[in-house]
Amino acid sequence: VQLQAFGGGLVQAGGSLRLSCGASGRPFSKYGMGWFRQAAGKEREFVASITRSEDVTYYGDSVKGRFTISRDSAKNTVYLQMNNLKPEDTAVYFCAAVSSGSMRYTFRTSSEVDYWGKGTLVTVSS
């Protein structure tokens, strides 16, 4: 599956952005989807994931309560709504897909990811 992320940009602290990731090449419904991010000089960090069943989501501790992941199977797209952004959210955000036979398989580590999209840069100014 090919993944393409959109929606990054420059925003002031306290602002919002919505990232989108479109999937093509294989049935979108076969994949758990998620987002990771990587700040300059740091390791890639788990942000959020959503199951194939669309009813279970997980979030990294640093974004809980501020970010929301969702998916639209009709559009083959996964979204990341980011609210109350902080300067420490500045990073390149990567869309990720995990192939799983289970509708409710969840993932939180980069080692589980089967497919990565190219990143989109989010910069939060103070």
Which tens digit of pLDDT belongs to each residue from 34-62? 999 999 999 999 999 999 998 899 999 99
CA 110 to chain centre: 12
CA distance 94 to 112: 14
Mean pLDDT of 115-124: 96
State residue 28's pLDDT score. 86
pLDDT at residue 27 above 90?
no
Read off the pLDDT band of 5 (50, 70, 90): very high
Residue count of the chain, please give it.
126
Query: Is the model's pLDDT at 101 over the cut of 90?
Result: no
